Amino acid sequence: DHELSLPKVQRALGAKAVQMMSPEQVEAVSHAPVGFAGPVGLEGALLIADHAVRQMQDFVVGANLADAHRIHVCWGRDFTEPKWLDLRIASAGDRCAHCDGELVLRRGIFVGEVRLWRDEHGLVYDDAQGVQQPVQVVVGELNLTRLIAALVEANHDSDGMVWHPRIAPFEVIILLLNPSEEAHRDVAERISLSLEERGIDVLLDDRDERAGVKFKDADLVGIPLQVVVGRSASEGLVEVRLRRDRQPHQVAVEDVAIVVEELLYREMEVTT
């Protein structure tokens, strides 16, 4: 019990689009209602079939008459043998075409495709022997929107995204909890500058918002590492924590850049 794959049919026929025929179209071609159309005696139609039914013998098909079927039908004897193609949707348990393994299905997200470019202009090249050969081009397409969706699907928790450092829009977010305190702002800006000098992308959240809002937004956006400039900044201390585990580390302001580099490197190794 297999299901037809319309994209496979489209590629097999080289068509721009394909769709299932309406009941009226089926009857116009076969002179029989849906369910009773068959290949025997069908004229002017291209016959294609999936490899999975190639071994069938003595089978039943529609008779191209209402309420009638033909029995004991065989390929090649009762009608022209079709062109054999891969046309069905794969299903769990299918045998591998190259070994004795079985297909196991897993959920995934379509992020791109690779296909052989169809040359409509007859492009050729001369090989080493001077013989003209057709140009073959493989085209790859990557859907960045779907790729980001796949990354979020694979890297998130109940509070939001958890970006990998290599693909995060920013590697570090600095949460300035009291932007009206000039000394704290100076600490945050010095930390930001020292990190940027080391090639680390930094986002400074100095909005006039409650601390809870900033923490919530930082977790939601999922920047890999958070530096919290709070009350302890007056004592020369800030809090550094990874978004992934949110374990706080009290760090002296002058050591923040070194600690951040070490944590980011460790995070890249752990989550690669």
pLDDT tens digit string along 226-265? 999 999 999 999 999 999 998 999 999 999 999 999 999 9
Please tell me the predicted confidence (pLDDT) of residue 53. Answer: 92
**Domain tally for the chain?**
3
Q: pLDDT of 83-119, one tens digit each?
A: 999 999 989 988 887 888 999 998 888 899 998 887 7
Q: Is 94 part of any domain?
A: no
Asked whether residue 182 falls in the same domain as residue 249, the answer is yes
Asked whether residue 23 falls in the same domain as residue 77, the answer is yes
Domain end point (choices 154, 184, 210): 154
Round to whole Å and give the CA distance between 109 and 147: 8
Q: Is 102 part of any domain?
A: no
Asked whether residue 60 falls in the same domain as residue 14, the answer is yes
Q: pLDDT of 186-222, one tens digit each?
A: 999 999 999 999 999 999 999 999 999 999 999 999 9
Contact 232, 239 (CB under 8 A): yes
Query: Can you give the residue range of the structural domain that contains 213?
Result: 172-271
Round to whole Å and give the CA distance between 256 and 146: 35
Q: pLDDT of 7-35, one tens digit each?
A: 999 999 989 999 999 999 999 999 999 99
Please tell me the predicted confidence (pLDDT) of residue 154. Answer: 86
Q: Provide mean pLDDT across the span 61-74.
A: 95
What does the angle CA 139 – CA 143 – CA 149 come to, to the nearest 5 degrees? 150
Contact 214, 226 (CB under 8 A): no
Please classify residue 30 by burial: count the beta carbons closer than 10 Å to its beta carbon, then call 0-12 exposed, 13-18 middle and 19+ buried: buried
Q: Is 1 part of any domain?
A: no
Q: By three-state DSSP, how is residue 59 classified? A: strand
Asked whether residue 183 falls in the same domain as residue 256, the answer is yes
Asked whether residue 80 falls in the same domain as residue 11, the answer is yes
Q: Is 95 part of any domain?
A: no
Q: Is 162 part of any domain?
A: no
Asked whether residue 144 falls in the same domain as residue 206, the answer is no
The amino acid present at 72, given as its one-letter code, is H
pLDDT interval class at 122 (50, 70, 90): confident
238 C-beta neighbours (distance < 10 Å), count: 25
Please tell me the predicted confidence (pLDDT) of residue 43. Answer: 85
Please tell me the predicted confidence (pLDDT) of residue 99. Answer: 86
Token code pair at residue 6: 């319309």
251 C-beta neighbours (distance < 10 Å), count: 22
Please tell me the predicted confidence (pLDDT) of residue 184. Answer: 97
Spatial CB neighbours of 76, under 8 Å, sequence gap ≥ 6: none
Asked whether residue 60 falls in the same domain as residue 130, the answer is no
Token code pair at residue 72: 């004991």
Q: Which residue has the tokens 């300035």?
A: 176
Asked whether residue 267 falls in the same domain as residue 178, the answer is yes
Q: Which residue has the tokens 């079939």?
A: 49
Q: Is 91 part of any domain?
A: no
Asked whether residue 150 falls in the same domain as residue 176, the answer is no
Q: Is 46 part of any domain?
A: yes
Asked whether residue 179 falls in the same domain as residue 254, the answer is yes
Contact 171, 231 (CB under 8 A): no
Give the CATH number, domain containing residue 216: 3.40.50.800
Asked whether residue 262 falls in the same domain as residue 180, the answer is yes
Q: Which residue has the tokens 């891969």?
A: 86
Q: Is 140 part of any domain?
A: yes
Asked whether residue 261 falls in the same domain as residue 222, the answer is yes
Token code pair at residue 45: 């139609």
